[in-house]
Chain A
Amino acid sequence: MKDLLTKINHIATQKFGAQYAEARAQKMVKTMLTLKEERVEAAKQGIESGVALRVLVNGTWGFASVGSLDHAILEDAVSDACKMAKMASSHLKQPIKLSDTKVVTDRVRSKPKKNPADISMEDKIKTAMTVNKTGLGYDKRIKSFTIDYLDLMGTSYFANSDGSSIEQDKLYVWARIAGSAHNEGIFTFSREEIGSTAGYEVFDEVSPENLGEKVAKRAIEQLGAKSLKGGTFPVVLGPNVVGVFVHEAFGHLAEADLALSGGVLADNLGKKIGSDLVTFYDDGTIVGSFGAFKYDDEGVQTQKTLLIKDGVVAGLMHNRETAQKFNAQPTGNARAEDFRVEPIIRMRCTYMEPRDHSFEELVENVKQGFYFKSFRGGQANLDGTFQVGIQEGYEIVNGEIGAPVRDASISGNTLETLNKVNGVGKDFLLDPGRCGKGQTAFISDGGPHISIKEIMVGGSA
């Protein structure tokens, strides 16, 4: 494979004058299941292979993707990519340049304790069925239960014109569980995700029974929850919500491509924008975490990247292009969903560093506010406006957790909110998730419990 890819890169640089060329071939096998209640809607398997070719000609990117490993087809595709880039470069004002990186030759093998390929489809169905049966059996008001399961295994072959050549295994195990409950005109909905880059052993860490019960319990509890009256309140956020807050409210703004697009962080590098308690990382090195890998899709080794330290903006997440623009080092954040798309700057595992408060201390200080434990969806905007939907939350009255509230969300401006963080817990939890930025990336995020002096809370009461 290395020879084939090197030859194609060679054609780009020698025949078409590309300044840089990279080829990324992938072979992947996927197993997917969807179970609705006790019905297996479909057991699915997929095989994919293809090549992504990316070239830099006259400072303009050309990209081609084909579902073939055939030399002639790849040669056509790379010449097409070079010609298109050349044509488009006629309008270029600032040619794209890449920062230098280490030339790497490596081979990365995944070593699962339980290889999903060794688990039979029957066993996977059995595990998924246990989740659904436990959920449905939890309470007769549970009306529907869905589990989507995916395992993806394969190998990615990377070669670029700088001389790097990397062969890297990919392994993802993921499941999403969703349950709904209905009682006397009230509908509730609850969901969880699990994900791992370690192996099928993820189901030993969280049992299928626990998963089913967790989702069902929340759906039932929400039946008794009330809508809240929106406004500005002090809140305590659980690690699951903190993770999404870190990812959405800050993480996206710290992606260097978005920072360059006018995001509020570019002008704040080295400046203090948040409370002393705020330290965030984006870390691709946590073995087994969803979003961990050794090399990104530009062949750059992943790392633990400090984003903000004690409230001071410390760095951004870079690919080779943005690193060059900022005169920084690439951070290993260039990821492509598969061979059909180009690598772009994506997060890996993004989290807040714990401090020393206990959960009780954080709640104690809130007179009238909310404890938001679990999220449902979140989104950020370049101007620093973020929104995180809440699927599980409670009132806090006089320092004590009270009645559950339903379908709330929090919103605010990132910079203002980071200044209002007034307590950070000593616990720590990571949750897997998926992030959409045109492509889907498997990520994780988390942190400790935290308290925020005030934040906008949306509710319809």
Chain B
Amino acid sequence: MAVLKKEVMVDLAENTVSKALKNGASEAEAYVYEGQATNIGIELGQISKTNRIIDRGLGIRVVAEKAMGFAYTNVINDPTAIGDVISRALSAARASKPDPDWKGLPGNETYASPEKTFDERVAELESGELVKVAAAMLEAAGQVDKRVFPIEGGIGSAYISNAVANSSGISGFDKGTVIECSIATVAKEGISVTPVCFEFNASRSYEVDPVWVGKEAAKLALSALKTKSVETKSTTLILTQFALQDLLAYTLINAVRADSVQRNQSAFKGKIGEKVASDKLTVCDDGLFAGGLRTWAFDGEGVPHKKTAVIEKGILRSFLYDSYSAKKEGKESTGNAGRAGYLSTPSIDTTNFHILRGDKKADEMLSETDDGLMVYYLQGAHSSNPVSGEFSVVATPAWKIKKGEITHCSRGVMLAGNIFEVLKNISLVGSNERQMGQLISPWIQVENVRVIGK
């Protein structure tokens, strides 16, 4: 696979910065991105599509008279196009309004080497090998039961690299790999169809277990086939990582972003040092977590990734900052400037949002639940109120737990509450840690959540 060399990317970033300064910017930052992805897709029970996507581009931020302008292009091998993107960024800045709070781009930093983020085997994976992995996953799902139908999924491997340089001396390059296999299944019997049941493995190195993924997705669908209703009441929930990822992304994570706090959009404003959750809950944002899906040497503006304690034993310790929000409070950035490739300006985001594991094994959590629901997938979490933390969602599906055992599946169960109350009502934290997107978390048991059954 032909990829852009480190020197080429760093030179492009640095040269773009100098050129922008020469053309009148008072400060400049260039971000160069390359992504190459190969995917083998499963559709309607068979491997029927393949794709390869090569995406490269450059995004440039310039400051003129304390006003910010940004432009990007995906034409990076043409000096005229680079010149054009610089003038577009400059004209955007000149059209913009000065920001009295602007205190400059972040300065020169040294970077730690992230661990287990690049695997030559993933970068060099042949598509023939990917087809074999997809076939193994599909076969494993199909063997579980003939009522299970794998609807979509596949396997993809990607190489990603980025370089960032700015006029305050930052210059960095990092590269990484990701491989992910996933499968979505439904089970059908007569006219009954289950909700979509999904499993996946994602890793920075060539460590995926397609047979496990296929089997688990099929087993989940099968167990959702026969359903009974549950009653409307407040009850105990075991939230798996799927449910937590969805729920926290639109609520808790919004509340710990420094910009939300500064703009009065966070229920956590003014609560540093206060108890905001059960003392069983400890959360850190760890941009250097070995092998983490969001582990990189630096963030979207070249500030080193680090580990930040967010909640310690229920006490709120810190918010997540990029350099703008940090400078506003005279603080240091926590390295949380996220970036959607070259297409966007940086904005505050989590790296690996890590809920520390407890000591309860999965089966112990179940056996210690007298009466409750086990929740895998949620529907509608994005309709939560990001400011108040109120949610009203559907579990698709949920499994009823009675006297420590799963008794049956139930569909269309609604869950409603407030995430900040939920955090206070955490009763058990599991030891079964797992990474899912930005979240690294075990299962969590919470008390007293409103359930609306049919």
Contact = CB atoms under 8 A, between A and B. Distances in A.
Interface of A: 34, 36-37, 39-50, 59-68, 77, 80-81, 84-85, 87-88, 90-94, 96, 120-122, 125, 129, 143-144, 180, 182, 186-189, 227, 230-232, 257, 260-264, 267, 340-342, 375-390, 406-409, 411-413, 456-460
Given A230-B232, A411-B394, 14 more contacts: A46-B73, A47-B81, A49-B75, A64-B54, A65-B53, A77-B52, A88-B131, A231-B232, A260-B44, A262-B149, A262-B193, A377-B383, A407-B388, A411-B414
Contacts of B387: 180, 182, 187-189
A379 B95 contact: no
Interface in B28-83: 38, 40-41, 43-57, 61, 67-75, 81
A45 B91 CA distance: 10
B152 interface: yes
Given A87-B127, A379-B382, A47 B73 contact: yes
Nearest to B89: A45
Contacts of B134: 91
Contact of A87 (B128, B264, B392): B128
A65 B54 CA distance: 6
A196 B72 CA distance: 24
Contacts of A93: 45-46
A389 B414 CA distance: 12
B444 interface: no
Nearest to A244: B383
B232 A342 contact: no
B392 A144 contact: no
Interface string B174-211: 00000000000010100101111000000000000000
A409 B391 CA distance: 9
B86 to A, nearest CB: 11
Nearest to A121: B95
Contacts of A80: 52
Contact of B195 (A62, A87, A381, A408): A381
B96 interface: yes
B411 A42 contact: no
A188 B264 CA distance: 11
A388 B67 CA distance: 40
Contacts, number: 300
Interface stretch (B283-291, B303-311, B367-375, B415-423): B415-423
Contacts of B452: 230-231, 456-459
Interface in B317-354: 343-345
Contacts of A230: 232, 392, 414, 416, 450, 452
**What is the interface of chain A mostly: helix, strand, loop, or mixed?**
strand
Interface residues of B, number: 91
Contacts of B386: 189
B12 interface: no
Contact of A40 (B68, B186, B191, B414): B68
Contacts of A409: 380, 383, 392-394, 414, 416
B92 interface: yes
A50 to B, nearest CB: 6
A460 B417 contact: yes
Contacts of B50: 60-63, 81, 84-85, 87-88
B414 A458 contact: yes
B73 A381 contact: no
Contact of A189 (B101, B191, B344, B385): B385
A88 B134 CA distance: 10
B121 interface: no
B451 to A, nearest CB: 9
A412 B452 CA distance: 12
A125 B95 contact: yes
B55 A262 contact: no
B92 A389 contact: no
A47 B84 contact: yes
Interface string B244-270: 000000000000000100011101000
Given A121-B92, A378-B380, A88 B49 contact: yes
B85 interface: yes
A91 B232 CA distance: 48
Contacts of A390: 383, 392
Given A143-B263, A389-B384, A47 B72 contact: yes
Nearest to B40: A88
Contacts of A90: 131
Nearest to B2: A76
B405 interface: no
A388 B380 contact: yes
Nearest to A83: B127
A257 B391 CA distance: 30
Nearest to A64: B52
B104 interface: no
Contacts of B91: 45, 121
B433 interface: no
Q: Which 6 A-B residue pairs are closest in the complex by CB-CB distance?
A: A389-B383, A377-B383, A387-B380, A121-B95, A458-B392, A143-B264
A64 B75 contact: no
Contacts of A43: 68-70, 92-93, 95-96
Contacts of B51: 61-65, 81, 84, 342
Contacts of B127: 84, 87-88
B279 interface: no
Contacts of B385: 187-189, 376, 406-407
B170 interface: no
A149 to B, nearest CB: 13
Contacts of A262: 149, 151, 186, 188, 193
B92 A458 contact: no
Nearest to A232: B454
Contacts of B54: 64-67, 77
Contacts of A81: 50-52
B390 interface: yes
A383 B49 CA distance: 25
A459 B418 CA distance: 10
Contacts of A387: 379-380, 383, 393-394, 414
Contacts of B85: 47
Contact of B383 (A39, A380, A388): A388
B186 A376 contact: no
A329 to B, nearest CB: 20
A44 B454 contact: no
28 contacts: A36-B263, A39-B101, A40-B97, A41-B345, A42-B69, A43-B70, A43-B96, A60-B49, A67-B55, A68-B75, A81-B50, A81-B51, A84-B50, A94-B44, A94-B46, A125-B95, A143-B265, A180-B263, A182-B264, A189-B265, A189-B386, A230-B452, A262-B149, A262-B186, A340-B53, A382-B151, A408-B392, A458-B416
B396 interface: yes
B416 A459 contact: yes
A381 B383 contact: no
B345 A47 contact: no
Contacts of B392: 230, 389-390, 407-409, 458-460
A34 B68 CA distance: 11
Most chain B CB within a 10 A radius of its CB, from A44, A65, A120, A379? A44
Nearest to A267: B191
A104 B392 CA distance: 48
B88 interface: yes
B89 A460 contact: no
Contacts of B384: 377, 389, 407
Contacts of A458: 392-394, 414-416, 452
B25 interface: no
A380 to B, nearest CB: 8
Nearest to A129: B97
Q: Point out which of B50, B85, B391, B411 has the most chain A C-beta atoms below 10 A from its C-beta.
A: B50
A18 B64 CA distance: 52
A154 B386 CA distance: 34
A59 B84 CA distance: 43
A87 B380 contact: no
A271 to B, nearest CB: 12
